[in-house]
Structure 1
Amino acid sequence: MDDARRGAAPDPLAPVLRTVRAGNGFEEALEQILQVIRLGLVPGGERLPSERELADRLGVSRVTLREVLRVLQEQGMVESRRGRYGGTFVRHPWEPGAEPVPAGPASQAGPADGTLRRPDTADLEDTLRFREVLEVGAAGLCAAEGLPPGGAERLRAALDATRDAALADYRRQDTLFHLALAELAGSPSLSAQYAGVRATVNGLLNRIPLLVRNLEHAQRQHTALVDAVLTGDAHTARAVAREHCAGTAALLRGFLL
């Protein structure tokens, strides 16, 4: 039985960290820890789980894990600190939504160099469609099947965190909200696939401005989605999730294509 169903505190890394397949231990362990960082599950300035815990959860040796962490350190994504309160810490520049605050009230600044590199159109459309399929499916499942014990409280808390988030932390809290919904659907495969596509979406979102009006609209959609899930209205839950994904897709196409 998972933590959510036991009523224990949810593990924010559960949608991402899982035992790797034999033969690609280094590559898959690196991919999963990269997802943890890119999704903001461990924010900039905070410590990753211990080497022992990471190795156990990923099913790799400590030697393999240290090779992974060395690569991440060489790329400037983590740093190692010694001493009683040491460990491996995510560096601040890799916290999602950590771009500078704008001069005006309408948006938050985009990339530091002011450029918007165009992604491949087919790849972008594939990512957006896959994200929509997973989010709409998760919303429908949560509403139709009901939430596990403690699930309603977890979902409300995640919604409150997005509402109360500062601009610089909004995208991380938004990510945690959607990851919670995916995990509460009760399918480890769905939540793992969603974590992967969400990491890609976050990379795209971090290349466009944060628009206050869009965030206000998104928050109303989040609230409607939670209401539909908690009342068991699967039709409305799917419709709101689809509309929410379409809004994000429109922004990404507009800025990046």
Structure 2
Amino acid sequence: MASAGDALFRPVRAGNAFEETVERLLQAVRLGVVGAGERLPAERELAERLGVSRVTLREAIRALADAGYVESRRGRYGGTFVNASLPTPRGKGRKIDPERLDDTLCLRHVLETGAAEMAAARSLTPGERQHLTSTLAETSASDLADYRRRDSRLHLAIAEVTASKSLTTAVADVRMRVNQLLDEIPLLEPNLEHSNAQHEAVVEAILAGDPAMARRVMAEHIEGTASLLRGFLN
């Protein structure tokens, strides 16, 4: 019979390896598969089971250590240990309804993958193309303090170049809901670097007029964010 550890420490998908690794480790800690004060499996074993590089695993562990879930100890009996006292799962202690979380993530997926696809299907004007590239550049150059605002602006820019006011309004509404959830979890630098690369791929697909690619890359990008939200908030 498969154990809970087998179920959680299974290979992650390549597209969002860091985000899904964080999600799996958080699930293992918060579900008690690895209890308070207990050690996570050895780094080499865990990386093999999750199907990720040791660099990715170390980044995920560092993110959880910074968030207060685990600590790394050196020496003969060292390793990564679950902290005896875990942080409040939600940044502001506000209760998050699981149904609300799933509803928001579902709606976002439908709206934003559709927006990327429709944007790529249009013949964009020079002004629209400039709007996308300049907003992308501003997001990529943003610091941590301003990242969420710039990130939101880029996603809205993609909706705007569909030329659908109704879709742009719907994306703006769902983005407000997503940001309320994102405010409850820490900003993780490896995730932001990954997000910037995915943003660039989405914009490139739109500018190249490739609707299928735009939809696919946007879906992958959104799922990475969803993995972090489910990991921290479920």
Q: What is the TM-score of this pair, normalised by structure 2?
A: 0.61
Query: Who is 1:197 aligned against?
Result: 174
Q: CA contact under 8 A between 1:134 and 1:190: conserved in structure 2?
A: yes
1:182 alignment partner AA: A
Q: Tell me the distance in 1 between the aligned counterparts of 2:176 and 2:183.
A: 11
Q: Choose from 130, 133, 136 the match for 2:107.
A: 130
Q: Choose from 157, 169, 189 the match for 1:212.
A: 189
Query: Who is 2:96 aligned against?
Result: 119
Q: CA contact under 8 A between 1:221 and 1:244: conserved in structure 2?
A: yes
Unpaired stretches in structure 1, ≥5 consecutive residues:
1-104
Secondary structure in 2 matching 1:209: coil
**Is residue 255 from structure 1 mapped to residue 229 from structure 2 by the alignment?**
no
Matches within 5 A, 1:59-74: none
Query: Who is 1:239 aligned against?
Result: 216
Query: Who is 2:56 aligned against?
Result: none
Aligned-residue offset at 1:147: 1.9
2:173 alignment partner AA: G
2:116 alignment partner AA: A
1:144 alignment partner AA: A
1:148 alignment partner AA: T
Q: Choose from 112, 116, 121 the match for 1:139.
A: 116
1:125 alignment partner AA: D
Q: Tell me the distance in 2 between the aligned counterparts of 1:138 and 1:115.
A: 31
Aligned-residue offset at 1:250: 0.7
Q: Name the CA shift for 1:108/1:170 in 2 (closer, same or farther; >3 Å).
A: farther
Matches within 5 A, 1:1-257: 115-257=92-234
Aligned-residue offset at 1:146: 2.6
Q: CA contact under 8 A between 2:91 and 2:186: conserved in structure 1?
A: no
1:156 alignment partner AA: T
Q: CA contact under 8 A between 1:117 and 1:256: conserved in structure 2?
A: no
Secondary structure in 2 matching 1:150: helix
Aligned-residue offset at 1:119: 1.1
1:203 alignment partner AA: Q
CA RMSD of aligned residues (A): 2.2
Q: How many matched pairs?
A: 152
Aligned-residue offset at 1:183: 1.0
1:224 alignment partner AA: A
1:199 alignment partner AA: M
Aligned-residue offset at 1:116: 4.2
Q: Name the CA shift for 1:254/1:230 in 2 (closer, same or farther; >3 Å).
A: same
Runs of 4+ in 1 over 3 A off after TM superposition: 105-111, 113-118
Q: Tell me the distance in 2 between the aligned counterparts of 1:188 and 1:108.
A: 39
Higher relative helix content = 2
1:241 alignment partner AA: M
1:151 alignment partner AA: E
2:216 alignment partner AA: A
Q: Tell me the distance in 2 between the aligned counterparts of 1:114 and 1:182.
A: 29
Q: CA contact under 8 A between 1:182 and 1:190: conserved in structure 2?
A: yes
